[in-house]
Amino acid sequence: METDELLTVLEDAGLSPYQAAAYATLLELGTTSASELASASDVPQPRIYDVLRALDEQGYVTVYDQDRLYARANDPQKALTGIKTAIQQYKSAIDEIETRYQEPERCDGNVSLVQRFRTVFDHARDAVADAREHIQLAATPSQFTALQPLLRDAYDRDVHIHLSLYLPEDDTFTVDEAEFEGVCTEVRHRELSGPFLVLVDRERACYATPNRLPQEYGVLIDDYTTAYVFHWYYLTRLWEVYEPIYTDRSDNPPYSFVEITECIRAIEPLIESERRVMGQITGEYTTTGRECQLTGQFVAVNYTGSRSETEGTSLLKLAAEAQIRFETTETVYTVGGRGAYIEDIAAKRFTIDQVETKASEP
């Protein structure tokens, strides 16, 4: 550090210009007389005595008489205690400012309203890192790239990852399957812009308004009931109406689903054609909350609407009530999606292991 910079810092720490000059010069000269210090530091002779006494009182130097007035600099470990305290206070203030910058503006239970996208994105990173079963992501290429390492880790944990990717016209990102392999379960290309949205296990939601809006804000949710609303917003507005551009699912079993709506659409045609659909269901008993893993046969489906022979089962028909009848060697269970209350089993994952071309004779 140059001398001028040091003098500036000392003045910022509370020393006067003469005190800073005298102290910096004394550090170079070592023990010296007041008159010699005045000459070397350009402090006026009449002022040097008051300057040294002030530095002595503040602990920077020690002044003593020996035929004339002398001064020596004190050990910096002790002399700079005040500056070190001030530095620590500045650091604490910086940490507090950053914390308050990211803190929710308003919080009502498990729902928080925040002002900045950065806060939403930081929470989204934490949520993705904690995901157990399912991630639904609506993002731009740059946002996807920033989350890609965490998504890859989640994919390795067998988390289902659905990406609704919005590509602005001026974006240089190219759709390449290599970008999604080992990262996403399925990707759909969205032509219309929308919010940044991350839904994790249908329990946590991180939502931020599109950048084109004049006033940005975000919503953080850690509540199943409220996150469920965002889940259906994602399905209807950001997912269902777009075609897949990538999927890691093969045409033949085994394959799995984390949404009962997807499972019903896959197994209903098979059951109606009298095929025998064998597999597993992981979830929990709705009466006790105890986890379970069932192995058996998908035997029937039930939902509010009716299936058209030409159009198949639309998402709208599955929006109200959707159930699967699942038969094990012990009993037949009524299975609902996650969060179900009237069914026997609230399922988290449906796995199809085998599909026989013809139902077996009893």
Domains of the chain, residue spans: 3-80, 110-247, 255-357
Kindly state the DSSP code that residue 201 receives in the 8-state scheme: T
The Cα–Cα gap between 149 and 154 comes to: 9
Find the mean pLDDT for residues 178-186: 93
Higher pLDDT, 319 or 258: 258
User: CB count, 10 Å around CB of 118?
Assistant: 14
Q: What fold is seen in the domain 3-80?
A: Arc Repressor Mutant, subunit A (1.10.10)
User: CB count, 10 Å around CB of 165?
Assistant: 24
β-pairing, 291-303 vs 111-114, is unpaired
Does domain 110-247 match CATH 3.30.870.10? yes
CATH of 255-357 given 2.30.30.690, 3.40.980.10, 1.10.8.590, 3.40.50.1980:
2.30.30.690
pLDDT band at 156 (very low <50, low <70, confident <90, very high): very high
Q: Are 7 and 20 in contact (CB under 8 A)?
A: yes
Q: Are 198 and 121 in contact (CB under 8 A)?
A: no
60's tokens: 């920077």
Please tell me the predicted confidence (pLDDT) of residue 104.
53
pLDDT reading at 2 higher than 70: yes
Please tell me the predicted confidence (pLDDT) of residue 339.
60
In 3D space, the residue among 198, 204, 226 whose CA is nearest the CA of residue 138 turns out to be 198
pLDDT band at 342 (very low <50, low <70, confident <90, very high): low
